[in-house]
Structure 1
Amino acid sequence: MRSSDTAATTRPRPCPRAERGSVTAEAAVAVPALVVFTMALVWALMAASAQIQCVDAARAGARAAARSEPRAATLAAARSAAPPGAKISLGRDGDLWRVRVEAPSPGPAAPSLTLAAEAVALAEDAVGSGER
């Protein structure tokens, strides 16, 4: 074998003209897809966080109502833990206080969801009033 034969086999082949720019085209498709996926992931995390805030707010309101705190104090306790723009409803059903918190999901309006949570607590004035 001649030295020129081995040199010819180790040289890279030039790309055919049809394959030029394929990396650029693939990147042009992949990068926007990754950006959209990342934005969807961030939105889902923000929505999950807001849902947890709704649950916490409903629990705080139910605890305050069960302790026979005034209505304004009960709503303030729930509102302090609720996400921005939340609607809080408070009601009594027999011996139980029910607090419902509803809030729009954060982020753009297109994937808008209504997040909701409800908590129920036994009123303190009802404890011990049952017959044995």
Structure 2
Amino acid sequence: MVIPVLALFALALVWALMAASAQIRCVDAARAGARAAARSEPEAQVLAAALLAAPDRARVDLERAGELWRVRVAAPTPGPGPLTLTLSAEAAALAEDTVGVPP
């Protein structure tokens, strides 16, 4: 009786570690995309930079709002049906082409 419970507990811990790792990768991907966008790189390069750091099956959205670039990364967690969650992260960076420009 104890062994199946321990096995289930171990599987839950592994799943939680995989989800935490995917969340950290989402944060890193959003930051990488925001840095690339702030440097005024082409949109394709910004998306490529974000997707390179993102987990598998991630979706990246890029938006400019005034002087800020916003990058959102969303990715599903690995796991069977009901254990699948959508993880997301957002990063913003000031566009370098606006620095030092009088308002």
Q: Smaller-chain TM-score range?
A: over 0.9
After TM superposition, where is structure 1 displaced by more than 2 Å over at least 4 residues in a row?
A: none
Q: Which residue of 2 aligns with 1:45?
A: 17
Q: TM-score, normalised by structure 2?
A: 0.97
Matched residue count: 103
Cα RMSD, aligned residues only:
0.8
More strand, by proportion: 2
Question: In 2, distance between residues paired with 1:54 and 1:114?
Answer: 11
Q: State the percentage of identical aligned residues.
A: 67
Amino acid at match of 1:116: S
Question: 1:85 and 2:57 equivalent?
Answer: yes
Deviations 1:24-45 (A, max 9, x none): xxxxx10100000000000000
Contiguous gaps of at least 5 residues in structure 1: 1-28
Once the two structures are superposed, residues 51-109 of structure 1 have per-residue CA deviations (whole angstroms, 9 ceiling, x without a partner) of 00000000000000000000000000000000000000000000000000000011222
Normalization by structure 1: what TM-score? 0.76
Which residue of structure 1 aligns with residue 8 of structure 2?
Answer: 36
The unaligned stretches of length 5 or more in structure 2 are none
Equivalent of 2:68, from 96, 99, 119? Answer: 96
Distance 1:124 1:116 in 2: 25
Q: Which has the higher contact order (CA 8 A, sep 6+)?
A: 2
